[in-house]
Chains A and B, each alone.
Chain A
Amino acid sequence: MTTPDSSPAAAALPGTAVPRLRRGVRLSFDPTRDSYVLLYPEGVLLPNETAAAVLGRCDGGADVATIVASLAEDFDGVDAAQVSELLRRLVRRRLVEIVENTEPGEAVRGDE
């Protein structure tokens, strides 16, 4: 059975959302395939270079806007909407979660 499309995670992620890899999800590099791999219970995902760069920045501290800005330093043509969409899909696949206390609309505390 698949998760219905009407799941709560289907809404766009706001720039203030703080994503992190879910418990048990690990990003690593596989020399055999010369590719980044996302490892999780019962599965493996081979993200492309851009997706790997996004995943590598999901540290539970940076919000989406910060991740987009950081990506723009390393890549040309970074599209905030595309990054948000990618993260939304990863949330729906239960690989990424949004850190509590930063629900849409709530301010992110700038105490770093």
Chain B
Amino acid sequence: MSEPRPSVNPPLGLLAELTHRCPLHCAYCSNPVQLVPAADELDTGQWRSVLDQARQLGVLQVHLSGGEPMSRRDLPALVEHAHALGCYVNLVTSGLSLTDATATELVAAGLDHVQLSIQDADARLADVIAGVRAHERKVAAAAVVRRLGLPLTVNAVLHRGNLDHVGAIVDLAERMGADRLELANTQFYGWALRNRAALLPTAAQLRAADVVVRAATERLAGQMEIAYVYSDYHERRPKPCMNGWGSRQLTVAPNGDVLPCPAAGSIEGLALENVRTRTLADIWYDSSSFNAYRGTGWMREPCRSCAFRDVDLGGCRCQAFLLTGDAANTDPVCSLSPHREVVDRVLSEQTALVPPPSVPRRMPAARNGGAS
């Protein structure tokens, strides 16, 4: 039986990772090192059921993501289903398949908003990061979104190789007609963590970028909103990850695993539930994984008695696990963490030298010629 606990609110958002297949090969990919093969993906009926259950549970925002969600032939059907349930439907895409025909079909199905990734401001550099000729198709995709009258968010993941071009990236997003621009410094999970030495920016780069981003934010106020995500290793306070564990959003992975945070699969010992064997409501309210780090009761010192406890919520559980081996520790990004030296060591070792080459992301043993 799933009796809602009084302290647990229903979720507002569902991140539906429809597939891990993706035509891009970005070294900063935050998906797990071990990707879900196409054969293990939920089918259309199972995704419909996930959407039904999510809406019933209280979800109002559905982010259709991946991988590349447009790799799924049933994407228009899933958009239509989520829309009919009354959800606000976001498509998080590389844009490579977003043509007049496909976009028109998605808009007719009820798509509300598109979030389009770009890799850099310059086509040649961007295509090196993407590992495929993608940039010009993305620019064309943005034009299609504008023509169809949908709001457009452009998202650029920032790292050592493109952070110095952030001003040109802002200019490009402006030319693309974006309503919002997310400038997100790489967060180190999954594949990106493997490439940390290549991706981590220097403090000098970040200081310069900060000036550019502040000026652009002011110049474009009222026209294009800029959301800037900091490089948390360089900060003194951790991010309030997910606004709290199991607090507002849940993620369903391509194979049906239900995650309190997209990176939660990296925490060893966390017993993940799956939509094939348990209902979403049961998982949200009653599973050990969703209750493991809810609220502040799980905290140890220095979090437990900290004045910032309700501000940053102890930071990120996945990062605590990945860098200290225990997810219940304070996020080591925090200057009050006894493990802060781990982050400082990474910073001093990895941002002083010429970065090593990054390792592009590839689907293991491409089936049927791959996804592109």
Least CB distance from B71 to A in Å reads 23
Tell whether, in the assembled complex, residue A42 and residue B221 are in contact, meaning their CB atoms are under 8 Å apart: no
Tell me which residues from 84 to 123 in chain B have a Cβ below 8 Å from any Cβ of chain A.
86, 88, 90, 112-113, 115
Least CB distance from B291 to A in Å reads 21
- Kindly state the separation between the CA atoms of A93 and B276 in the bound complex, as whole angstroms: 40
Query: Does B343 belong to the interface (CB within 8 Å)?
Result: no
Q: Inside 8 A of A105's CB, which chain B residues have their CB?
A: none
A93, closest chain B residue (CB): B225
Query: Does B149 belong to the interface (CB within 8 Å)?
Result: yes
Tell whether, in the assembled complex, residue A1 and residue B214 are in contact, meaning their CB atoms are under 8 Å apart: yes
Tell whether, in the assembled complex, residue B221 and residue A3 are in contact, meaning their CB atoms are under 8 Å apart: yes
Tell whether, in the assembled complex, residue A41 and residue B179 are in contact, meaning their CB atoms are under 8 Å apart: yes
Tell whether, in the assembled complex, residue B222 and residue A8 are in contact, meaning their CB atoms are under 8 Å apart: yes
Least CB distance from B366 to A in Å reads 33
Tell whether, in the assembled complex, residue B179 and residue A24 are in contact, meaning their CB atoms are under 8 Å apart: yes
Least CB distance from B128 to A in Å reads 29
Q: Inside 8 A of B221's CB, which chain A residues have their CB?
A: 3-4, 7-8
Segment at the interface with A among B55-63, B297-305, B344-352:
B55-63
Tell whether, in the assembled complex, residue B58 and residue A26 are in contact, meaning their CB atoms are under 8 Å apart: no
- Kindly state the separation between the CA atoms of A74 and B250 in the bound complex, as whole angstroms: 39
Query: Does B171 belong to the interface (CB within 8 Å)?
Result: no
Tell whether, in the assembled complex, residue B222 and residue A24 are in contact, meaning their CB atoms are under 8 Å apart: no
**Cross-chain contact of A23 among B151, B214, B226, B228 (Cβ < 8 A):** B151
Q: Inside 8 A of B115's CB, which chain A residues have their CB?
A: 41
- Chain B interface size band reads 20 to 34
Query: Does A78 belong to the interface (CB within 8 Å)?
Result: no
Query: Does A99 belong to the interface (CB within 8 Å)?
Result: no
Tell whether, in the assembled complex, residue A23 and residue B179 are in contact, meaning their CB atoms are under 8 Å apart: yes
Q: Inside 8 A of B61's CB, which chain A residues have their CB?
A: 39, 42-44
- Kindly state the separation between the CA atoms of A9 and B179 in the bound complex, as whole angstroms: 17
Q: Inside 8 A of A40's CB, which chain B residues have their CB?
A: 88
A33, closest chain B residue (CB): B58
Query: Does B12 belong to the interface (CB within 8 Å)?
Result: yes
Query: Does B43 belong to the interface (CB within 8 Å)?
Result: no
- Kindly state the separation between the CA atoms of A30 and B57 in the bound complex, as whole angstroms: 11
**Cross-chain contact of B226 among A1, A9, A26, A42 (Cβ < 8 A):** A1
Q: Using an 8 Å CB-CB cutoff, how does the interface string of B185-228 with A read, 1 for contact, 0 for none?
A: 00000000000000000000000000001100110011001111
Most buried by A among B88, B218, B228: B88
Least CB distance from B300 to A in Å reads 32
Tell whether, in the assembled complex, residue B10 and residue A32 are in contact, meaning their CB atoms are under 8 Å apart: yes
Tell whether, in the assembled complex, residue A41 and residue B226 are in contact, meaning their CB atoms are under 8 Å apart: no
**Cross-chain contact of A44 among B56, B60, B150, B222 (Cβ < 8 A):** B60
Tell whether, in the assembled complex, residue B58 and residue A9 are in contact, meaning their CB atoms are under 8 Å apart: no
What would 11 A/B residue contacts be, using CB atoms closer than 8 Å? A1-B213, A3-B221, A22-B151, A23-B179, A24-B112, A33-B10, A39-B61, A41-B112, A41-B151, A44-B13, A94-B225
18 additional A-B residue pairs with CB within 8 Å, beyond A3-B221, A41-B90, A42-B61: A1-B213, A1-B228, A3-B217, A4-B218, A8-B221, A23-B150, A23-B151, A24-B112, A24-B113, A24-B150, A26-B112, A28-B86, A30-B58, A30-B60, A30-B86, A39-B61, A41-B153, A42-B113
